[in-house]
């Protein structure tokens, strides 16, 4: 049996000793078995990363990837998606276009399992995960609560304003988003506009986070339900199922 523990300074050159895996700093599952987040992985984390059976990594820093890490990804057939975002405290400097493109890669089921990381797994990673949560129809208060949970005392007001202002409508009905919501479990990937009740997240010391959503207005719900019905009729066609199988 393998044990997972947090890595420290004295473990940077240790990969796997006595069946102990060392995860990257600030590691956590965003969606069980398919989406993860962390700080920058070190060589000591390679055995743990390998155990996740990743298909891709989303890297949110402008600096080039270390050659040793690139070789590890090549040997394990992990695709690297890099979106060079400078660490900044100015919300206007956060590249919305890069966030949107990274979000499209993140929800594309062909890239799962996927790991998101920046330098410390707090601010840039937190902003991308927060945008995913908005796409999942979380309440804004819950999105910000999760962001602060991982950013700790170093949370940034600029990131909070960015998450408040970011509009996910540009991606909600994209092909990647439709397939992601259709093939995801109803418990973990919520269909926008569905009328079933949803849970309120409870942030615990063990970083256990459950999904939450807010109820849309009656007018918005009728509009979305009409679109959902049309989409579901399309989902039942053999052509759609054939195309989805080719994607996955």
Residues that are catalytic: 118
The token pair at 113 is 């399992």
Instruction: Let me know: does 189 contact 132? Beta carbons within 8 Å.
Output: no
DSSP β-bridge partners for residue 114: 35, 56
Instruction: Let me know: does 232 contact 224? Beta carbons within 8 Å.
Output: no
DSSP structural state of residue 196: S
**Rg, C-alpha atoms of the chain:** 19
Number of Cβ within 10 Å of residue 177's Cβ equals 18
User: Residue 239 in 3-state DSSP?
Assistant: helix
Which strand (E) or helix (H) includes residue 131?
helix 123-135
């Amino acid at each position: 049996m393998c044990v997972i523990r947090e890595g420290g300074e004295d473990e940077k050159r240790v990969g796997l000793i006595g069946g102990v895996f060392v995860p990257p700093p600030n590691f956590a599952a965003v969606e069980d078995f398919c989406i993860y987040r962390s700080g920058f992985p070190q060589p000591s984390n390679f055995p743990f990363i390998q155990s996740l059976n990743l298909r891709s990594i989303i890297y949110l820093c402008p600096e080039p990837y270390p050659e040793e890490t690139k070789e590890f990804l090549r040997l394990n057939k992990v695709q690297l998606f890099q979106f060079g975002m400078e660490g900044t405290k100015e919300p206007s400097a956060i590249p919305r276009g890069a966030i949107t493109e990274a979000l499209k890669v993140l929800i594309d089921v062909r890239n799962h399992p996927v790991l998101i990381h920046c330098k410390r797994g707090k601010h840039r990673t937190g902003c991308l995960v927060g945008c995913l949560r908005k796409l999942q129809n979380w309440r804004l208060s819950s999105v910000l609560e999760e962001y602060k949970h991982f950013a700790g005392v170093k949370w940034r007001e600029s990131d909070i304003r960015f998450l408040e202002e970011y509009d996910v409508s540009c991606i909600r009905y994209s092909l990647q988003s439709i397939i992601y919501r259709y093939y995801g479990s109803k418990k973990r990937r919520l269909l926008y506009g569905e009328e079933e009740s949803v849970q309120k997240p409870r942030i615990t010391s063990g970083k256990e986070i459950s999904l939450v959503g807010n109820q849309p207005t009656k007018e918005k719900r009728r509009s979305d339900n009409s679109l959902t019905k049309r989409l579901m009729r399309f989902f039942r066609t053999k052509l759609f199922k054939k195309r989805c199988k080719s994607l996955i």
